[in-house]
Amino acid sequence: MEKPANQINRREFLLRSIFLSGFGAVVATLTWIFWDLWTGAHRFSSSRWVLVAPLNRFRSDGIVPFQEFKIAILRTGQKLGAISMECTHLGCLLNVVDRGFFCPCHGSDFGPLGQVYSGPATVSLPWHDIMNRGGDIWVHLGKKIAEPKWLML
Amino acid sequence: MKARENFFKHLHPHSIRDRTLDPLSTLGLGIVCMTCLLLLAATGLTLLLYYVPHQDVAYDRILHIMTTLRYGKVIRNLHYLAANVLIIAGILHLARVFFTAGYKGRWLNWIYGLFLLGLIFFSNYTGYLLPWDQTSYWAIKVGANLTTYFPGVGPSLKNFLLGGEEIGPETLIRCFGLHIAVLPFLWTILTSLHLWRIRKDGGLAAPEEGKPVRLPSSPSLYRAELAVGLLTLTLLFSLSLFVGAPLSDRADPLHPPNPAKAPWFFVGIQEMLSHSATLGGVVIPALIGLFLVFSPAIDRSKETGGRWFGKERLTLNLVFALIFLGQLFMIFVGQWFRTRNWGLKFPW
Amino acid sequence: MVQGLNHRAPAWVNALLFMATFSTLCLALVLAYKGWKEDQALHHSAQEGGSEIIADIMVNLSGIPYREHCMTCHPQGKAANLPGQHMVFRNHPDIAPHSMDDLGCTGCHLGEGMAGDLIISHGRVGTEARKVLGGEDVQASCYRCHDLKPLPGAEKAWEGFQLFSMNACDTCHHVDGTAGGIYGPDLSAVGSFLSLRQIQVAINDPKADPENSIMPKFALSPGQIKAISYFLKSRMRESPHETPMEKMVKVRKQMQTTGRGTMKVPASAGDLLREKKCLACHRFQKEDGQIAPDLSYMAYMRDKNYITDFLYSPGKRIPGAIMPSINLTRQEEEWMVRSLQNRNLKDHFHKINPKHLYMMLCQRCHAAKGDGSGMIQPNLANFPRAFWKNTEFFRRIPDERIVKSIEKGVSGTSMPPYGELLGHEAIHSLVDLLFREFIRTDRRDKDLSLSLPGKPASLLPEERVQKQFIKHCSECHGRAGNGKGAQYLRYLPRPRDLTNRPFFQSVTDERIAFSIFDGVPGTAMRPFSGKISPESLWSFVFMIRELSDSHGEASKPN
């Protein structure tokens, strides 16, 4: 005996939607896992918090450069900040001089808080997030911020 | 008839015999192999992003993948499990085809299949070395030495595998290049040929019937294949909850472990070799190889395929079963019953 | 016939697909969840932001970069700061003048700096050669960089180095910087591939692995073994604080200072023996290494030639001896012989009753129980004869042979001649004692009736003898006849080394034939009387003569 056509279609439709959603969920989960892995390089790379030095390295005011991270920790008054040492012109590593920072590539000059004194750079140096964890100073290398973030001592 | 609307449907026949859907006709093993292969490709490409084939950093990279990377351990485990399940499924698939005389009228595809089996072993072997830990270093050393027993080509084969006389940085680069580029290239070609031949040969080998019942492939075949694929994934995912990809100490070329064993899929040959170099290492593997290659020609039965354990093929089936069980036994003994200095020891 | 286009899949296919999808989904979710959780456990978020913190530190130790993640869980070297723990307690001890900034963590503590989990990062994979050293074990790393001198904080390791030298370890084992020997494995880099625990086991139980090791078990307390292991663990392949050039200079310098230098005249025999580390194994008067025979009565046993020969090549006089060759200058040789030839003990001996004689002289090898497993038995090349209930053996040998063995010793074995020390009467009372207390039979109860088959006119051709030898004898005596057959470790006494020249020079053909024909009771040598023909028997005797190069009748034992 033939079943009515619309009933067959409905049942078939229901079955197919269940399959599709189930299968879709599987694909979604697996995609999530693989997506996470394919974009997971930040764990290996520089977009992360790094342990820079223990707190007792910064006993007096001044600038302490950390070339391997391309940052410098400056202490003024009772606060610490982490400033980027990449020249805002074309990215060369800056040198620390007694009045601030100097770029050996094209001669850009920056003040002690990263403000541009003379070009060709036009943008002042950005800062990094900084924190104290367990007596060590950690700096977040990935994200650069325009306004300084100070760590009070 | 509707035109074939996509590539997936285009690959499949428009209609199938009803016995194709019967699980007992093929046990779905071909799909199991295919799924393993796809999972290996996906996980392998992911691992490829983070691995470095240099002997000083390879181990560190594996550590990084396993501990620092989120889901890194999961992916590595799945890659390891899929590789091993592929060996087992491949061999079972071979056995199924043999016992059902599926090669009847399909000798070329049978040869392609044997090539694929060779690729399975080769891929597993080259991948085994990549972690560069004690187990893998010495397993590859032993494995390479196993080939030297082959007259003529043996030593050259060993030099090819090792990239020189000794295992060293060249070996790692070579195994890596083979594993991720050369072999996948061959895989793609041979898998395509293998699947294409199924269509060209008129579908799965089946017993002759007057007027077989046919069904459209859509949706039955696709759903059945998908189901088997998902079940394989289920198996692999659940195994990964209990079994992990192993990692031992860093490779130390000066201090071999005792005993030093080839990878499990070659340890049967190592066991045979320990009894007799020529017989175990050369003659028996060669005979097995020749038997497999030429059995469709030796097979004079009137079977057309699809029937399990046909009486006409009793001798052939017995020989195959003997080979299968014999090699299985050798692997068991080599893997679990051998201790220091290859002495015999009961594992309980 | 193809069914309709809108064909429905069979019900079971739908059911299977449903089940498969469901199970795969569940497991995929489980895997995703598990992976997430594991990751959380390892890499807890920062206070703000939520991105993972991994302490990625690179220390550069004399050109070798070490990258570490240890401080992720151990900030400033403190005890692990894991999620859920809010208290960070137990600061790292003050290690001035070292600093964690300069050295990092793995330089002293080992472990796997690049791993981020509990097990691998603490070096607990495989042999655990890189297992983290904590507590007092850390001093095992000190001498990786520091010179081998007393060092505050590494007292046990220094003690270990001294023990290594005092117990003559460096006589057999080579370690870079010492003049060491070649009998044992080279230990210059042992710390790189063995864990602390494995080193301790290797010293405490040498024959655990490998079974046929000739290393004796030295009389060391667990504390002393630990100390030695601290020293040995510091012998590593990479020394992070030295450039290769510095290392080379250091090795050369150490080799010079542990060389011979000027030899001062030793005050007494004991001094020379101690200086040359003989007492690490041997006994001399009151001091005892508990590994090798007693040298106190050497004056009455061996002459000067024997002693100098023996020192030069112990394996020539006692094949299979584990004693290494001792190279001495002519001067040292003279002093050594002189100190060993000290004669002032003999007067007592004829007064001592046989029981005490046994305890003083025999027990060391033959054991208090008389079963041959004396204190030093594991280190002897030949198992001392068992007396205890070994009735059959002693019934079948003439009394003269027993007396002769004691009087003249047994060539090619560690049994020395006691004739001069004891005198005839004492020896006989000793033999009476053996029969009374151990062998438990009447000394005169003998069965010497067995007769050998006569010598045939001609012996078997060489290939046949070889074949027979392999068939009957090689399982125990080995294919080369040196006593190391495939099964030799199962037997104690071990199968006789048939290449032992001094031994076979002192025995007659008949005795060899008897041993084969009638077997040797008390050992695994069974009688072959029914199994081989007279031709084979005497062919074997000839073969043994060949193997041991001892043709001609029994020569006088030396």
The DSSP secondary structure of A87-145, one letter per residue, reads -TTT-PBPEEETTEEE-TTT--EE-TTS-EEESS--SPPPEEEEEEETTEEEEEEEEEE
- Cα–Cα distance for residue pair B276/C373, rounded to 1 Å: 40
Q: Do the Cβ atoms of C2 and B216 come within 8 Å?
A: yes
Q: Do the Cβ atoms of A44 and B64 come within 8 Å?
A: yes
Q: List own/partner pairs for C522-528 with CB under 8 A and 24 or more apart.
A: C522/C385, C522/C386, C522/C390, C522/C392, C522/C393, C522/C493, C523/C491, C523/C493, C524/C476, C524/C491, C524/C493, C524/C495, C525/C476, C525/C495, C525/C496, C528/C472
CA distances for B114 relative to A51, B97, B127, B165, B305, angstroms: 55, 11, 20, 29, 18
Report the complex ipTM: 0.86
Residue-wise DSSP of B259-294: S----HHHHHHHHHHHH-HHIIIIIHHHHHHHHHHH
What's residue C49's pLDDT? 39
For B181, which DSSP code?
Answer: I
What's residue B87's pLDDT? 96
pLDDT confidence tier of residue C255, bands split at 50, 70 and 90: low
- Cα–Cα distance for residue pair B213/B202, rounded to 1 Å: 15
Q: Name the residue of chain B whose CA is nearest to C10's CA.
A: B220
Residues of B with Cβ-Cβ distance to A44 under 8 angstroms? 50, 64, 68-69
Residues of A with Cβ-Cβ distance to B233 under 8 angstroms? 26
Q: Would you say residue C1 has pLDDT above 50?
A: no
Residues of A with Cβ-Cβ distance to C54 under 8 angstroms? 43, 48-49
A23 vs chain C: nearest CA distance in angstroms?
6
What's residue C267's pLDDT? 58
Residue-wise DSSP of B24-86: HHHTTHHHHHHHHHHHHHHHHHHHHTT----TTTHHHHHHIIIIISTTHHHHHHHHHHHHHHH
- Specify the length of chain C in residues: 558
What's residue C271's pLDDT? 76
C195 vs chain B: nearest CA distance in angstroms?
11
- Pick out chain A residues at pLDDT < 70: 1-8, 41-48
Residues of C with Cβ-Cβ distance to A22 under 8 angstroms? 18, 21-22, 25
Using one digit for the tens of pLDDT, what is the confidence trace for C163-216?
998 888 888 888 877 666 778 888 888 998 899 999 999 999 998 877 788 899
Q: Name the residue of chain A whose CA is nearest to C11's CA.
A: A15
- Cα–Cα distance for residue pair C94/B309, rounded to 1 Å: 77
Cα C391 to chain centroid, rounded: 34
Best of B39, B46, B48, B236 to disrupt the A interface (most A CBs within 10 Å) is B46
Residue B151 identity (one-letter amino acid): P
What's residue C45's pLDDT? 46
Nearest to B32 by CA among B92, B118, B116: B92
CA distances for B247 relative to B73, C271, C495, angstroms: 11, 53, 43
Residue C540: both structure tokens together? 């074997």
Q: Would you say residue C250 has pLDDT above 80?
A: no
Nearest to B60 by CA among B49, B51, B72: B51
Residues C73-99 as b/e (b if ≥16 CB within 10 A, e otherwise) read bbbbbbeebeeeeeebeeeeeeeeeee
Cβ neighbours for B296, distance < 8 A, ≥ 6 positions apart: B103, B104, B106, B107, B110
pLDDT confidence tier of residue C558, bands split at 50, 70 and 90: very low
Nearest to B40 by CA among B119, B138, B133: B119
Q: Name the residue of chain C whose CA is nearest to B229's CA.
A: C20
pLDDT confidence tier of residue C92, bands split at 50, 70 and 90: confident
Q: Do the Cβ atoms of B73 and C9 come within 8 Å?
A: no
Q: Do the Cβ atoms of B71 and C127 come within 8 Å?
A: no
Neighbours of chain B (3+ CB pairs under 8 A): A, C
Using one digit for the tens of pLDDT, what is the confidence trace for C109-142?
998 888 877 788 898 888 889 999 988 999 999 9
What's residue C145's pLDDT? 81
Q: Do the Cβ atoms of C17 and B226 come within 8 Å?
A: yes
Q: Do the Cβ atoms of A49 and C78 come within 8 Å?
A: no
Cβ neighbours for A5, distance < 8 A, ≥ 6 positions apart: none
Using one digit for the tens of pLDDT, what is the confidence trace for C278-302?
888 999 888 888 999 999 888 889 9
Residue C254 identity (one-letter amino acid): Q
B140 vs chain C: nearest CA distance in angstroms?
18
Nearest to B12 by CA among B282, B196, B208: B196
Using one digit for the tens of pLDDT, what is the confidence trace for C41-80?
766 543 333 445 667 777 776 666 777 888 777 877 777 6
Residues of B with Cβ-Cβ distance to A23 under 8 angstroms? 226, 230
Cβ neighbours for C199, distance < 8 A, ≥ 6 positions apart: C190, C191, C228, C229, C232, C233
Best of C19, C54, C66, C100 to disrupt the A interface (most A CBs within 10 Å) is C54
Using one digit for the tens of pLDDT, what is the confidence trace for B208-263?
887 888 888 878 888 899 999 999 999 999 999 999 898 988 888 878 888 888 89
Nearest to B119 by CA among B176, B22, B63, B186: B186
Beta bridge partners of B17: B214
- Cα–Cα distance for residue pair B71/A30, rounded to 1 Å: 11
Quick one: what percent of chain C has pLDDT higher than 70?
85
Q: State the distance between the two ends of chain A, measured CA to CA, in whole angstroms.
A: 86
Q: Which of A7-16, A110-119, C511-520, C533-542 has the lowest mean pLDDT?
A: A7-16
B223 vs chain A: nearest CA distance in angstroms?
10
Using one digit for the tens of pLDDT, what is the confidence trace for B320-330?
999 999 999 99
Sign of the alpha-carbon dihedral angle for A132, A136, A137, A138: negative
Residue B65 has a CB neighbour count (10 Å cut-off) of: 23
Q: Do the Cβ atoms of C3 and B133 come within 8 Å?
A: no
Q: Which of A134-138, B179-183, C300-304, C506-510 has the lowest mean pLDDT?
A: A134-138
Cα angle vertex C120, ends C114, C122, to 5°? 90
Residue C441 identity (one-letter amino acid): T
By three-state DSSP, how is residue C230 classified?
Answer: helix
Q: Do the Cβ atoms of B46 and A34 come within 8 Å?
A: yes
Using one digit for the tens of pLDDT, what is the confidence trace for A87-104?
998 888 888 887 789 888
What's residue C345's pLDDT? 66
What's residue C240's pLDDT? 53
Instruction: Give the helix ranges, DSSP H, for C350-410.
Output: 354-357, 363-366, 391-395, 399-408
Residue B71 identity (one-letter amino acid): Y
Ranked by mean pLDDT, the top range of B177-181, B200-204, C346-350 is: B177-181
Q: Which of A52-56, C94-98, C440-444 has the lowest mean pLDDT?
A: C94-98
What's residue C254's pLDDT? 61
Q: Do the Cβ atoms of A37 and B70 come within 8 Å?
A: yes
Question: What rounded mean pLDDT belongs to chain B?
Answer: 89
Q: Would you say residue C260 has pLDDT above 50?
A: no
Question: What rounded mean pLDDT belongs to chain C?
Answer: 84
- Cα–Cα distance for residue pair C335/C337, rounded to 1 Å: 5
What's residue C512's pLDDT? 92
More confident residue, A3 or B273: B273
Best of A6, A39, A43, A132 to disrupt the C interface (most C CBs within 10 Å) is A43
Averaged pLDDT for residues C355-380: 92
B68 vs chain C: nearest CA distance in angstroms?
6
Nearest to C153 by CA among C166, C164, C165, C137: C137
Identify which of C1, C30, C54 has the shortest CB distance to residue B68.
Answer: C54
B123 vs chain A: nearest CA distance in angstroms?
23
Residue B242's Cβ-count burial label (10 Å; 0-12, 13-18, 19+) is exposed
More confident residue, B201 or C246: B201
What's residue B229's pLDDT? 95
For C137, which DSSP code?
Answer: G
Beta bridge partners of C2: B214
Q: Where are the beta strands (DSSP E) in C425-536?
A: none
- Cα–Cα distance for residue pair B132/B249, rounded to 1 Å: 9
Q: Is C35 on the interface with B (CB under 8 A)?
A: yes
Q: Do the Cβ atoms of B68 and A41 come within 8 Å?
A: no
What's residue C48's pLDDT? 36
- Interface A-B, measured as beta-carbon pairs within 8 A, has a size of 34
Residues of A with Cβ-Cβ distance to C47 under 8 angstroms? 131, 133
Best of A9, A12, A33, A47 to disrupt the B interface (most B CBs within 10 Å) is A33
Averaged pLDDT for residues C330-349: 79
Q: Name the residue of chain A whose CA is nearest to B233's CA.
A: A26
The position carrying tokens 């997506």 is A35
Identify which of B1, B68, B213 has the shortest CB distance to residue C116.
Answer: B68
- Cα–Cα distance for residue pair B266/B125, rounded to 1 Å: 9
